Amino acid sequence: MTNNDGTNSELVYADTLWKAADTLRGQVDAAEYKHVVLGLLFLKYISDSFEARREELQAELQTDGITEPQLTALLENRDEYTAERVFWVPPEARWANLQNQATRADIATLIDDAILAIERDNPNLKSKLPRDYARRGIESGRLKRLIELIADVGFKGDRAKARDTLGRVYEYFLGKFAQAEGKLGGEFYTPRCVVRLLVEMIEPYNGRVYDPCCGSGGMFVQSERFVEAHGGQKTDISIFGQESNPTTWRLAHMNLAIRSIEANLGSQPADTFLRNLHSDLRADYILANPPFNVSDWSGKLLQDDVRWRYGTPPLGNANYAWIQHFIHHLALPNGRGGGVAGFVMANGSLSSNAGGEGEIRQRIVEADLVDAIVALPAQLFFTTGIPVCLWFLTRDKTGKNLKNGCPNRPDGRKGETLFIDARKLGIMQTRTLRVLTGGDSGETLLADGIGDPKPDSDIGRIVYAFRQWRGEPKPEWWDEEKHGGWAYCDISGFCKATHIEEIKEQGFVLTPGRYVGAEEQANDNEPFIEKYPQLLAELEECFVEGQRLTAEVRRILGGVADAK
């Protein structure tokens, strides 16, 4: 598929570049190599942006009749660049200088010195770039070939287009490195289709966006794209984040800097639980993919934390610590509504009663904070093959916090939760990795060329069911003859609007399969080898439910014994 803007050709180019760069990796671990490659890509971009502005400035000055030596002096005036939001690149750090010296045995040291010079002259980049090329011990010949390879990446010309080109290349490389690292890759990268789904559900048009475990910043990038795709400006949202891993924290800063996205990620990397850098923040939108099922999260040091309003999380699992952290930072209802949150979570969070999690979940449901739960298919993540789920929480079910309100539900959706079972959606991109259609910016899966996903894409099916249920207005491009009516209706096996009383009857278990029922079965002739991962995932869920029921029976029997 090829978009009008040439997106597909850019992705093909990025893939070619990746394959060439990967052949130079040799024995270097992917986790180490990604910082080498992504750091050089960033260096090339800011150097090209500088040179593009320099050529532009020279043409302006010559038109004004300015000649030497004043011309050279003005071309080396830092303010002429920073005023145009272009990073100032000192002479020793310019790409041409590094490329000319790429054959030197100490090229790694020269790269470190160049990055140090850039940080020195651009305070907002201080300590946010990789400055350890010499320490990594990569053979100088490999570095030389990598520099020559990246030299062919052109980021000159129109700055907005150049920024977008690098953004796509950079994001593509992040995904490929995450795939190469396997489980460790999930520490810095959330699959694009999952991020796209979260953003489309949350709809961050205007306000404060927060991710307390931001990885390489993918949630922020997609939020900015959403705003611009719907006619807004990136300045319509303010970005706040936090990341504990120092190298990942630097990746996030580079990822945002190349897109000119301003963000407050804290002055240094820090653990969100122990050092909450944005303790006073009340966010309009929270998007996150936290590390779930973490047993060592320093819970003993946080027993009386103000964030645990609905109950103290168990020491052996951080899931409900994360959930309550998100709730704590949601903006309270005001004239334009309250905050909303969308995040990835382990399926166990939907039904577990261990360590008081069931009681915490019950209080959250009774507080009417749960807006929707989406069960995802297996094999979407590099970190795990088992399925996970998406939680959507809100402090306001009136619709005031939505850009266009909820005219189709003027009384709101108080006391309701939407359950969506999307476990059967997605297509296999590789033998081990599944993707949801409609989530790749390289696909032509937008409705009439605008920012909304197509109704027949996987993401479209989920998003429009959610928007219809919330009572949002029908999009102008929606064709009822082609796409069906806009009014929400339950679909057996896929979605169900449920009242709190029904959730109470189910013991406050939030597993979508309990509510949506079973869809009508048909012989789809799907080969067993393709069905196997889904069947295995369903079996895993049965095991989890079995453990929950066993624990519940033991609890009841224990109560009977105590009564005697």
What amino acid occupies position 515?
Y
pLDDT reading at 4 higher than 50 = no
The end-to-end CA distance of the chain, in Å, is: 71
What amino acid occupies position 408?
N
Contact (CB, 8 A) for 159 and 52: yes
Count Cα atoms within 13 angstroms, Cβ side, for 336: 8
What amino acid occupies position 321?
A
Contact (CB, 8 A) for 357 and 402: no
Token digits of residue 397 = 């079910």
pLDDT the model gives residue 313: 97
Distance of CA 497 to the CA centre of its chain: 27
- Angle of CA points 85, 90, 94, to nearest 5°: 95
pLDDT the model gives residue 27: 67
CA distances from 353 to 51, 68, 123, 363, 481 (A): 60, 76, 49, 13, 46
For residue 136, which of 116, 107, 114, 94 has the smallest C-alpha distance?
A: 107
Cα distance between residue 406 and residue 413, in whole Å: 10
72-94 pLDDT per residue, tens: 999 999 999 999 889 999 999 99
For residue 401, which of 342, 336, 466, 341 has the smallest C-alpha distance?
A: 336
Of 147 and 189, the structure prediction assigns the larger pLDDT to: 147
- Angle of CA points 350, 402, 266, to nearest 5°: 70
Percentage of residues in the chain having pLDDT higher than 90: 57
pLDDT the model gives residue 347: 94
140-149 pLDDT per residue, tens: 998 999 999 8
Q: Quickly tell me which residue has 């005001």 as its tokens.
A: 334
Which pTM does this prediction carry? 0.85
pLDDT reading at 511 higher than 70 = yes
pLDDT band, residue 186 (cuts 50/70/90): low
Sorted by where each starts, the structural domains of the chain and their CATH numbers stand as 7-180 (1.20.1260.30), 188-516 (3.40.50.150)
pLDDT band, residue 445 (cuts 50/70/90): very low
Q: Which of 111-115, 374-378, 439-443 has the lowest mean pLDDT?
A: 439-443
* 204 preceded by a cis bond (ω within 30 of 0): no
Contact (CB, 8 A) for 438 and 454: yes
What is the average pLDDT score of the chain? Answer: 87
Contact (CB, 8 A) for 223 and 285: yes
